[in-house]
Structure 1
């Protein structure tokens, strides 16, 4: 599928998602205006470090009971678990809630966070809701649309499908980077270019920040610092 490894993705977790977005603007400027979430997400634990993994994609509904037999619903849920547990790892589940009011019923809570963490999933990005805030699996990085009390009629609709969550469109095994700021899809061809881009941007920004923090900073010194930053390659 790809020569991108778990170690390659682990390298990207040392930087927050805004930094990854900045680096993508450098290495793939045509992606500057898309490929990331554009609405606020609620983090289960805002203090968790960034995650980066291969997408597992699913759609759900919760407002109405599923239009299928209990046996069919159970079989679909089992197929979902088999799907998310497949290689490559680590995985990030991206779930699109299709209800007119997403988050009516919570897919995520104490049980699901523990199941997914146990299966090797690093976290989730969803426009749906979650609950059991204090009892969910520690270290599971979940970003949701809202917090809610009930799971209502929540059920899996489709697995291994293209999904869109707050502007972020991904398919199975796309690379996703996420933290409390939101999430971004990282094209495979950009993964190994990001560290060098991060270093370049940091050196450019350091010139401007140092000038801004120095005594006597003014607009002329800002212009000089910005000019010096442009010369860094």
Structure 2
């Protein structure tokens, strides 16, 4: 993200926490928006995010949807329970409807994708800090559809929100009948890593075996 159009005066006093499980991405965001906001903290998972946010009480939290420890939804719920004035702007690579609706339902004030330019992100931070709701154009349609009834919000599964993006990928392949070795090859990871992800999914969803996992995914049309 590089863009020379941002106006420093607009957001010079805004205090921001960046939450993402990729250190290089956090560094890039800090570099791009740092001249225009004050980055007061960072987090890489739910635990470190909550600690950074509650310690600094920023104006805006830039929050990835899929982070270890329970996802962005868990961060929002835990923070807002004690600090309802903190505002969250989801910044994610995902543009899936369930992610957008899930994070907004949890309490985020906006949702933008990581393809956003630096100047647009600076503007989005200012708008969210000022009380506005901000969405990338396509994502705004999901929210409008949800409120109009075109998307059934009850179908946005809180259990699915607990899974990381990688865990969802493994879940879908398991449900399609892939063997661990085939999943490892498909996702360019080791078989042991596949086993670790499957164990994590079973634990988070409180399921006992692969058969139950496949039925769970099929019932939710994830296959």
| Structure with the largest fraction of strand | 1
Structure 2 length normalisation: TM-score? 0.30
Q: Bigger relative contact order, structure 1 or 2, given CA contacts below 8 A and separation 6+?
A: 1
| Structure with the largest fraction of helix | 2
Larger Rg: 1
